[in-house]
Structure formats: structure tokens, C-alpha cells
Chain A
Amino acid sequence: MARTLRFNIFRYNPRNPASVAHMREYSLGETESMTLFIALNRIREEQDPSLQFDFCCRAGICGACAMVVNGKPGLACHTKTKDMPGEISLMPLPFFKLVGDLSVDTGSWFRGMYQKVESWVHTSKTFDPAAEEERMDNELAEKIYELDRCIECGCCVAACGTALMREDFLGAVALNRVARFLIDPRDERTEKEYFDVVGSDDGVFGCMGLLACEDVCPKDIPLQDQLGMLRRKMALAAVRGMLPKFLRKD
């Protein structure tokens, strides 16, 4: 027999001075293959057209529908109601600026972060649109792609105790971006230049190793391994000059 799901959804419109933050309850009959994305759309269409939430692709690619589901950040479109208890609480992602209800502005933060870590290939070569694309070893291309799969949903930052306490902390998503360029041979940045970007307490040395980022990432990106690799690389870069010659190489 189909369940009736009870949703407790955070409601608040920061642009309306009369709005007060509260949790509102909605009931909805569960249907086959229902996701939270489907449930939210039905609630909006059938019960409350004022409910704000973001979505775009419905397929775990755009990252727009990230929210806190029963305490854990995740994607609404990826979360099947059959895997959930009968009572579901939905909150907006913390850390990011609230637009209203379940909708947050991740874009502004991500743009600032990308500028800060200079999230692009730094090369002295002039791009020739007519030239054949430079060849890359397939294994390496797959390694880069593995880190490039990040959809910028913001779940890792919203689950990070360090980022929530210290808003200047870059977070796993930024450190993963840097790790991605670090293994890309087209990026000509030196170790010192990478260190200048992440070698601080706002960067990799601020990470307390809580690993919630690793555990909530909806795309299962190996964040723990990137954070560890980056910490070792940057820590070694700081003391490289003190090491005996045979230990100085990577």
C-alpha cells in the first residue's frame, strides 16, 4: 500500500519583512519511483505555489536541487522517497546565501572561489582554434575527468564543519579544483604558485579532516584522497629547501 509521506519544509522569504522562518508540514501520497524532486514539484503544483526551490536537469548533473534532507546535504533529484522514512525534513543548504525557502545562491560563492583559486588552465601557449587538439594519455585524461565530474552543488561545503565555522575556508570543492589542475600537464603553474593559492589556514592547512565532504558528495568524487594528496604536496613544498637533495623531488 502506498505511503502518505509527511514533509516538513523550511519556509522563509528574506525579501519579505513580514516573513518569519518556520517549518511547514505537507502531506503527499507516495508514487512509484518518486524522487524528492518529483515530490517538491507536486507540492508546488497541487498545494503551495509559493514554495521556492531550484532545479534544472533532474538528473544529478546541474547540482541546483541540493538541499539538506533529514539533516544531510544531498540532491533532491537523486533521492528516492522509497529509501526515506515516512517523515522527511527539508532545509536549505547552510553556508550559502538564502534566496528563499529551499533555494540558495551557490553561484556567487562559486564564482568568487573560482577567481580565488584561479580555476582555469594557466598556459603561455596561444590558443590556435585551427590546430589539432593536443594529445593526452587516456589514463591521465580519465584521472582529470574523475575530478572534473564535480557539479558544484555545494553539498561538501554545506556539510563541512570548518567552512561553517570559518567562512574564509576554501572547502573541499575548491581544493578538488586545485588538485584537478595540479595533475593537468597543460597548466604551467609552479608548485610555489599553487602553494600561494592553497598553502594557508584558509586553504588545505585549515582542513580539520572531518571528511563529511567525502561522505556526502552526491557524485562520489574522491575528495579525501585529493585533500590528503594536496596537504602532503603543499607541506612538502614548504620544507623542500630544508630537505637533503635526494628527498627534494616529488
Chain B
Amino acid sequence: MSLSTIATHRPVSPGLTAAYLDWLQMLTGAALILFMWCHMILVSSVIVGPGVMNAIAGFFEFTYMAQLGGPAIFAVFLVHFVLASRKIPFRTAEQKVMWANAKRLEHKDTWLWMVQAATAMVILVMGAIHMWVVLTDLPISAAKSAARIQTGWWLLFYLCLLPMVELHVGIGLYRIAVKWGFVGRKDRSGFKVKENSITYIFIGIGVLTLIRFMFLAVK
């Protein structure tokens, strides 16, 4: 039993660390959600035309957002993982308890958290591979992306990564909103329906984008 659980005459001050880390976890999560929405705008612009995507990518290149922002996002991604993983059960005993509870309770939000934790592990590996491949081959262009999708196992790779990211982003946004009280009791179920719809729409846009890349002529 830790010191803080022992009833003392005066409570032992916990310090500010947990609060700072909670802030950082939320802010890095929110930043990554915003980034993923911008990312969706960039890549899905290829549906309108490769020229549009190239223009947006060119803007990021010209303003150094790709060269500097890319590695910065990678760093935020890693920091977010480390902060959020403090809550993920890594010990077998804890995992067993969590599984047993989720199965016994059949509670949707508990299962959503399980999905959030599982997708986080997949995104850590696949997202890191994706970022490495893209950031070591700048500038971004529609032709390069299409060539990658049309090569080897990359289509399958992105068909796996896409729903993982969208589920994680969708559940993450919902979790931030309810955990921090931005969405209260009376708005919770409505917000969840909207959030689910957005997740499905984004997965749909992502699949359309991949199909467009699949059939884009590569010089």
C-alpha cells in the first residue's frame, strides 16, 4: 500500500506532476486529432485531382511545415504515446482484470477504451513506419504516394492503418470531451452518435483516397 493511501492527519501533497502530465496527454492528443484532420484534407484532395494535392503539399514544403512540422508531429506522437501508456495495463494481471471487467460488464465505453488501447499499439508501429517512409522521401507528391500504394503490400498496410487511426482519433476525441467535462451527461449520447458518424465518414473518405491512388497513373 502506497503512502498516499494511508489515512494521515494531513494529506501528503501529491505535487503537480500528475496534473501537468494529464494536461500534456490531453493537449498532445488534441493536437494529433487536429493534425489528422488536416492530414485527411491533404491526402483526400487527390480525389479532386492530383494537382490539388500537389499544390497543398507544395505549400507545406514552401513554408517548411513538412520539413520541420513533420518531425515535430513525430515527436508529439511519441510523447503522446508515452503519456497515454501510463494508463494502459502492461502487466498480465492488470490485463486479465481489464478483460474480465469488459466482458462481464458489456459496457460500450469500457470496450471503446479497449479499442483505443489496442489501436494505439498498432498505430505506434505502423504510424512510425508511415512517417519514416514519408519524411525520408520529401517532398510529398500525389505521384509518389500513388507509386507507394501500387507497390507490394502497401495498399494492405494502409487499409489496416486507416481504420486504426480513425477509430483511435474518434474515440480519443470523445474521451477528451467526456473526461474533461466539455460534453456533459445530457449531451453524451448525442455526441457519441455524431462522433461515430464522423469516424465512418472519414474511413469512407480514406478508402476512396486509397482507391484513387490505386488507379492514379504513375509516370
Interface residues in chain A, defined as those with a beta carbon under 8 Å from any beta carbon in chain B = 68, 71-72, 94, 112, 115-116, 118, 159, 161-162, 164-166, 168, 193, 195-197, 199-203, 205-212, 214-216, 222, 224-225, 227-229, 231-232, 234-235, 237-239
Contact = CB atoms under 8 A, between A and B. Distances in A.
Interface of B: 1-2, 4-5, 7, 11-16, 18-23, 86-87, 89, 94, 97-98, 101-107, 109-110, 113, 175, 178-182, 184-185, 188
Nearest to B110: A210
B175 A209 contact: yes
Contacts of B19: 195, 199, 205, 234-235, 237-239
Given A115-B7, A200-B18, A209-B178, A168 B107 contact: no
Nearest to B113: A210
Given A224-B184, A234-B19, A165 B11 contact: no
Contacts of B4: 168, 200, 202
DSSP majority for the A interface? helix
Contact of A231 (B1, B15, B180): B180
Contact of B16 (A197, A227, A238): A238
Given A224-B178, A238-B20, A214 B97 contact: no
A33 B104 CA distance: 27
**Interface of B, helix, strand, loop or mixed by DSSP:** helix
Given A197-B11, A235-B22, A228 B178 contact: yes
Contacts of A161: 97-98, 101-102, 110, 113
A120 B22 CA distance: 28
A208 B97 CA distance: 15
B7 to A, nearest CB: 4
A47 B211 CA distance: 66
A164 B98 CA distance: 8
Given A168-B4, A201-B18, A225 B98 contact: no
Contact of B105 (A159, A209, A232): A159
A60 B190 CA distance: 30
A122 to B, nearest CB: 12
Contact of B109 (A71, A195, A215, A228): A215
Contacts of B181: 224-225, 227-229, 231-232
A9 to B, nearest CB: 15
Contacts of B86: 201
Contacts of A118: 11
Nearest to B188: A224
A207 B102 CA distance: 16
Contacts of B104: 68, 71
